[in-house]
């Protein structure tokens, strides 16, 4: 699939980070985060704020090797929220102002055409998913994401994260999952085996399990932010359970 423009990712990152902070403030920093067992909203802000600073470092300083993940300061309350907002704004500025040919380290096997596009894409989705986590802590429905962006996030998850050797989504015998976005028309065929999953675009042959939903539903369900179950799942439901149990990033 064709990825989005860097400017579109940056706009989404900007919006999602602001919404995450506002939602966290409304939920309260001591609220539990249902999608992240053991975490409170404080942990969510500390983690995402550190990720933002880590990512900005690659873009601004051009590191070509992995860098240590920064420790978040021991801040609480309004000071923690201000620290998160500052790091998020700095990341947005770094990505918006970086030269298109910046060279730096990236970490997924199937990446966008440039390091800048990689980091803009990765941080937009990192922030959007953790915004969903903040809304889970607050309770109620998730705010919508644009269908094209949600489709892009499903693609990054399937062809990027779960193409890595560390993916635990494996089966003893070859099996196939079909993922279908009903609103955008995107289709992925995921080949499971004792090796890391191999995902290809398109409706390629029969599938043991098919998962069909809107791009936004697939985005949150495949990231395990809502149940991967119900009428959207047909065929061998054990493969959906395998995903739930083993697909955590």
pLDDT of residue 244: 96
Instruction: Give the integer Cα–Cα distance in Å for 133 and 222.
Output: 14
pLDDT of residue 3: 76
pLDDT of residue 205: 87
CA atoms within 13 A on the CB side of 194: 2
> Tens digit of pLDDT for each residue in 10-44?
999 999 999 999 999 999 999 999 999 999 999 99
pLDDT of residue 36: 94
Contact 20, 80 (CB under 8 A): no
Instruction: Give the integer Cα–Cα distance in Å for 108 and 93.
Output: 23
Whole-prediction pTM: 0.96
Which residues make beta-bridge pairs with 188? 179, 201
Residues of the chain with pLDDT below 70 are 111
pLDDT of residue 159: 96
pLDDT of residue 110: 75
Instruction: Give the integer Cα–Cα distance in Å for 46 and 75.
Output: 9
Q: Which one, of 189, 237, 186, 229, lies nearest residue 209 by Cα? A: 237
Contacts of 92 (CB under 8 A, 6+ apart): 10, 13, 14, 17
């Amino acid at each position: 699939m064709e990825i989005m423009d860097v400017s579109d990712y940056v706009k989404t990152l900007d919006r999602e980070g602001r919404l995450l902070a506002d939602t966290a403030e409304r939920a309260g920093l001591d609220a539990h985060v249902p999608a992240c067992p053991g975490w409170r909203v404080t942990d969510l802000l500390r983690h995402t704020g550190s990720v933002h600073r880590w990512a900005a470092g690659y873009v601004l300083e051009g590191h070509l090797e992995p860098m240590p993940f920064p420790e978040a300061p021991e801040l609480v309350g309004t000071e923690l929220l201000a620290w998160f907002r500052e790091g998020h704004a700095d990341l947005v500025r770094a990505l918006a102002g970086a030269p298109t040919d910046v060279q730096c380290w990236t970490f997924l096997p199937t990446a966008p055409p440039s390091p800048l596009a990689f980091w803009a894409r990765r941080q937009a989705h990192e922030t959007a998913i953790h915004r969903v986590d903040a809304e889970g802590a607050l309770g109620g429905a998730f705010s919508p994401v644009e269908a094209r962006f949600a489709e892009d996030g499903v693609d990054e998850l399937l062809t990027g994260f779960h193409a890595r050797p560390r993916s635990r989504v494996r089966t003893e015998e070859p099996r196939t999952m079909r993922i279908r976005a009903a609103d955008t028309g995107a289709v992925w065929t995921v080949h499971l085996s004792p090796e890391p999953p191999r995902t290809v675009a398109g409706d390629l042959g029969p599938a043991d399990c098919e998962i069909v939903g809107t791009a936004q539903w697939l985005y949150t369900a495949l990231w395990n932010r809502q149940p991967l179950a119900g009428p959207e799942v047909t065929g061998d439901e054990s493969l959906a359970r395998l995903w739930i149990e083993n697909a955590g990033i």
